[in-house]
């Protein structure tokens, strides 16, 4: 197992991509701290319609060690409590996956300032807060890893002003963190998912989803497991000399010139 005896925090781990990341990290031997604002997984209109079992309960049923910690990761005090609880319970922290993210539809004329602040707070500010809280413990790890989950919308518009901007900012935040922490042997990388089958896609119509599928060069939509396996790679010793990168995991979505 690639991640045996390593401890990971995954924000937004109750549902969707975060849940898939937790499952794959645990499969490779990691102890997983699931951090989310709610423990119950979300059911979607198109995807995850029958997902009922909380992530930690699922992992424990498979013989894995896991812990749920409730937190709004856009709040500094809550983030510090997550890290402190991890250290109190497991004694170490080796991997931080900043996955928590939200999307709210709206254009430049209709998106409120309050909603902008909410999206940027969860999608980018939270990664700064969790990283800052985790760094003292990651420095003590033999393989400190920070993995941020952005989006293909970090490279192009079309995801809404707040969402696309926050994901683009997260990519560059990762690069700066990678530079700062390289002397300590800590790596920081970003994964940029394309369309992944999760409840966050509920705002789309069936026609729009079909159009995405048609425009994805590989002949299927993405699964949370696809992002989970990329996280396993970045978290493992296989990626010990890779840092500051942004990896699209999108079935080839970004490859063509549309």
Strands (E) in 111-161, as ranges, are: 145-149
Cα gap 232→227, rounded to integer Å: 9
Cα gap 243→221, rounded to integer Å: 27
Sheet holding 31-36, edge to edge: 66-70, 31-36, 7-11, 95-98, 145-149, 187-193, 246-249
Give 177-203 as a DSSP string.
HHHHHGGGT-EEEEEEE-SBSSGGGGG
The secondary structure of residue 62, as a DSSP letter, is T
Return the biggest CA–CA distance within the chain. Answer: 50
Give catalytic residues, as residue numbers.
163
Cα gap 13→97, rounded to integer Å: 9
């Amino acid at each position: 197992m690639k991640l045996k005896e390593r401890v990971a925090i995954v924000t937004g781990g109750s549902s969707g991509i975060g849940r898939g990341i937790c499952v794959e990290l645990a499969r490779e031997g990691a102890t997983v701290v699931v951090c989310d604002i709610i423990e119950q997984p979300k059911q979607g209109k198109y995807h995850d319609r029958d997902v009922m079992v909380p992530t930690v309960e699922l992992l424990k049923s498979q013989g894995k060690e896991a812990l749920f910690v409730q937190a709004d990761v856009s709040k500094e005090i809550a983030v510090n409590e997550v890290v402190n609880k991890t250290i109190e319970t497991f004694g170490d922290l080796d991997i931080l996956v900043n996955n928590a993210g939200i999307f709210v539809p709206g254009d430049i004329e209709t998106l409120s300032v309050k909603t902008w602040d909410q999206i940027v707070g969860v999608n980018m500010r939270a990664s700064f807060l969790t990283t800052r809280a985790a760094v003292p413990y990651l420095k003590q790890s033999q393989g400190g890893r920070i993995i941020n989950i952005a989006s293909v919308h970090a490279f192009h518009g079309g995801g809404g002003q707040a969402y696309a901007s926050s994901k683009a900012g997260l990519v560059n935040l990762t690069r700066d963190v990678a530079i700062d922490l390289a002397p300590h042997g800590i790596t920081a990388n970003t994964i940029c998912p394309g369309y992944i089958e999760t409840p966050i896609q509920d705002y789309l119509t069936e026609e729009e989803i079909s159009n995405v599928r048609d425009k994805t060069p590989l002949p299927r939509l993405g699964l949370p497991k696809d992002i989970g396996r990329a996280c396993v790679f970045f978290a493992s010793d296989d990626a010990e000399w890779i840092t500051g990168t942004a990896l699209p995991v999108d079935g080839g979505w970004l490859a063509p010139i549309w």
